A and B are shown apart, each in its own frame.
Chain A
Amino acid sequence: MNSIWPLLITLTYVAVAMVIGLHARGKRASRADMNNLEEWGVAGRSMGPITLYLLIAAGSVSAYTFMGAPGWAYSKGVAVFYVAIYLAYLALVAWYFGPKVWEFGEQFGHVTQASAIADRYQSPALGALAALVMAIGSVAYAVLQTIGSAYILFVMSGGLIPIWLGVLLVLACIAVYLYASGQRAIGRTNAFQGVLMLFVAWAVGLWAVNSATGGMSFAGVFERIQTEHGEFLTLPGAGGDMSFSFWTTSIIVSMFSFMPPVWTQWMSASSARTIRRSATWLPTYYVVILPMVVVGFIGIYSLPELARADTVALEYAMQHLPVVLVGLLGAGTLAASMSSSEPFIHSISLSLSKDVLQPALKLTDGVTGKLARRLILPIMFLVVAPLAIAEPGSLVMILLVGLGFASQVLPAFIGMFFWPRASRLGVMAGIVAGFLITVAFTTLWPHPLGIHAGFWGLMVNLPVFVTVSLFTPATKADVVERFFRIAAPQGLTRLGRREEQRDLETGHVP
């Protein structure tokens, strides 16, 4: 690719994102306000429904949509749509849990997921443990997205911007506006990135279909696939590795992985109703996946000898699309990577400051706020950048284990939203047991019987959690009561009896 236009368009996107991010703070929030965790961490709980919709949507649509999803379509076929389904289920999760999490945050002052866990179980140690281990998965996720960003700059510049320089460039841009405007910058830039991605995906998808079939309908592509490669239209897919059990358990495990940035996004809403409204329409955004997946299907017969499946959309664009669209694809993919990595970097910094360093060093809230802002720099340049430049082969493994762990925190949430009797030791025992099983079934014996390792972890985790909880002391009644006044405003049900329990209304939890 000899044209300068793709690189210029991609760099223009970066410049626009920086301007938006830097101005996100607005006139209302002063520089001093940004040292406050309520402001820098959760944007003063001020985000409206449209910003929140685009924040969550763009945050969940990573570079996977522009590189991985077409790659999966190219190598496996319709199996890729498990992602679209679990993203829609995450909207259901946001609809139910988001408003309650927002009320916890607003009433009890939580700004992170781990602070809510520490508060519910009256255990700063459990909060710190959750923060630390969630940070491992979050770092791996941020590193993967940063590698994707640097790769896009490398391709768009025709190799002029090497990977190491691309990594530093992208992280420096994010660092500037993240430091200046915190969660407000993430909200505004994600809104811009979300709109850009939707436009780019459909423009590239429709143009690619037109160049492949002469029309604008996807039917021509799929009729040819049906005739020549029917195995791409069903499970277990062309690779034969997406069984019904792996499809189902992957969806369930992904659905129950309450990642910390999502929690922070919920707490950034202006009201509980705002979250419900945004979550309701969230699944409509996932039409963004369809056109990019169609490009992957076109690649099956037009680029049959591709060495790396996840480059199919870029390769097809460079061979068949006008340079402007190639540039927009570069900008869209970069937008997807940045919109996903920045919430993770922000939440790592926020949680390590608030849930690990503040209790350990007995810091004041003011010092913790300043620390959270500054901590993004060592996280980015001493952890994320070296890992992204080194591109360790085990990174995907680290990510899988990290995400597997995320689902193992489920007992903490069961005790927060459904079961008052859940105890601190029960949650810890469940997490440890589930984590060990997940690690073993990810590394030593990957996904036995075609069932996701995280699902195996949950099958051990949950019985251990219930058993240990029943034999260890419950959290103090007044703490449980204040949580369940929000989680169960209509009262609790006593299992095994017909009458309903209304103890919370009288202020007494038996």
Chain B
Amino acid sequence: MRRLFVLPNSRAGWGLLIAFVALVLAGTWPVIGLVNRATLVMGLPLMVVWSYCVIFACVVVMLIGNRIVERNDHE
């Protein structure tokens, strides 16, 4: 039991895990360092635009996740 762990066991599950990790990386260092510039995009600071891109990307990933979970009938 000491080496048993919960991990995804399908390609879709791994894809979802990678997407979750990518989202967390997108909002933290070092990625956040790449958008740390005092420039404006559509009238908003680049950091603000990036933050909301990450926030709405979370919605998209969860929507995809819902399709995977419901297709696999995990519930």
Residues of A that sit less than 8 Å from B by CB: 78, 81, 84-85, 88-89, 91-92, 95-96, 99, 217-220, 222-223, 226, 230-231, 233-235, 244-245, 247-248, 251-252, 255, 272-273, 276-277, 279-281, 283-284, 286-287, 290, 417-421, 470, 474, 477, 480, 484, 487-497, 500-501, 503, 509-510
Do residues B32 and A95 form an inter-chain contact, with CB atoms below 8 A? no
Do residues A235 and B32 form an inter-chain contact, with CB atoms below 8 A? yes
A81 to B33, CA, bound (A): 14
Do residues A283 and B45 form an inter-chain contact, with CB atoms below 8 A? no
A233 to B43, CA, bound (A): 12
Asked, given contacts A85-B54, A230-B38, A490-B9, whether A218 binds B1 with beta carbons under 8 Å apart, the answer is: no
Do residues A496 and B62 form an inter-chain contact, with CB atoms below 8 A? no
Residues of chain A within 8 A (CB-CB) of B6 are 417-419, 484, 487-488, 492-493
Do residues A85 and B66 form an inter-chain contact, with CB atoms below 8 A? no
A235 to B29, CA, bound (A): 11
Contact of B58 among A88, A273, A500, A503 (CB under 8 A): A88
Do residues B9 and A233 form an inter-chain contact, with CB atoms below 8 A? no
Do residues A85 and B27 form an inter-chain contact, with CB atoms below 8 A? yes
A480 to B47, CA, bound (A): 44
24 contacts between A and B (CB under 8 A): A78-B45, A78-B47, A81-B48, A84-B52, A85-B27, A89-B27, A92-B58, A95-B62, A219-B43, A226-B38, A226-B39, A233-B37, A233-B45, A244-B29, A247-B29, A247-B32, A248-B28, A276-B66, A277-B66, A280-B65, A290-B52, A493-B5, A493-B7, A495-B5
Contact of B63 among A251, A280, A287 (CB under 8 A): A280
Do residues A234 and B36 form an inter-chain contact, with CB atoms below 8 A? yes
Do residues A88 and B32 form an inter-chain contact, with CB atoms below 8 A? no
Residues of B that sit less than 8 Å from A by CB: 1-7, 9-10, 20, 23-24, 27-30, 32-33, 36-40, 42-48, 51-52, 54-56, 58-59, 61-63, 65-66, 69-70, 74-75
Do residues B32 and A244 form an inter-chain contact, with CB atoms below 8 A? yes
Residues of chain A within 8 A (CB-CB) of B74 are 489-490
Contact of A84 among B33, B39, B51, B62 (CB under 8 A): B51
Do residues A91 and B58 form an inter-chain contact, with CB atoms below 8 A? yes
Q: Which residue of B lies closest to A219 (CB)?
A: B43
Do residues A81 and B4 form an inter-chain contact, with CB atoms below 8 A? no
Residues of chain B within 8 A (CB-CB) of A81 are 47-48, 51
A490 to B13, CA, bound (A): 11
A19 to B2, CA, bound (A): 54
Do residues A85 and B43 form an inter-chain contact, with CB atoms below 8 A? no
A499 to B38, CA, bound (A): 51
Do residues B33 and A492 form an inter-chain contact, with CB atoms below 8 A? no
Distance (whole angstroms) from the CB of A88 to the closest CB of chain B: 4
Distance (whole angstroms) from the CB of A369 to the closest CB of chain B: 30
Q: Which 10 A-B pairs have the closest CB atoms?
A: A219-B43, A280-B62, A244-B29, A233-B38, A248-B28, A78-B47, A85-B27, A81-B51, A88-B55, A493-B7
Do residues A251 and B28 form an inter-chain contact, with CB atoms below 8 A? yes
Contacts A495-B5, A503-B4 aside, 10 further interface pairs with beta carbons under 8 A come to A89-B24, A92-B61, A247-B32, A252-B28, A277-B66, A492-B4, A495-B3, A497-B3, A500-B9, A510-B1
Residues of chain B within 8 A (CB-CB) of A421 are 1-4
Do residues A283 and B32 form an inter-chain contact, with CB atoms below 8 A? no
Distance (whole angstroms) from the CB of B5 to the closest CB of chain A: 5
Residues of chain B within 8 A (CB-CB) of A248 are 28-29, 32
Distance (whole angstroms) from the CB of A230 to the closest CB of chain B: 4
Residues of chain B within 8 A (CB-CB) of A500 are 9
Contact of A283 among B3, B28, B40, B59 (CB under 8 A): B59
Q: Which residue of B lies closest to A255 (CB)?
A: B24
The interface centre, meaning the residue of B28, B42, B69 with most chain A CB atoms within 10 A of its CB, is B28
A40 to B46, CA, bound (A): 46
Residues of chain B within 8 A (CB-CB) of A492 are 4-7
Do residues B4 and A84 form an inter-chain contact, with CB atoms below 8 A? no
Distance (whole angstroms) from the CB of A83 to the closest CB of chain B: 10
A99 to B29, CA, bound (A): 30
Contact of B47 among A89, A233, A417 (CB under 8 A): A233
A480 to B1, CA, bound (A): 10
A501 to B5, CA, bound (A): 9
Residues of chain B within 8 A (CB-CB) of A251 are 27-28
Residues of chain A within 8 A (CB-CB) of B33 are 244
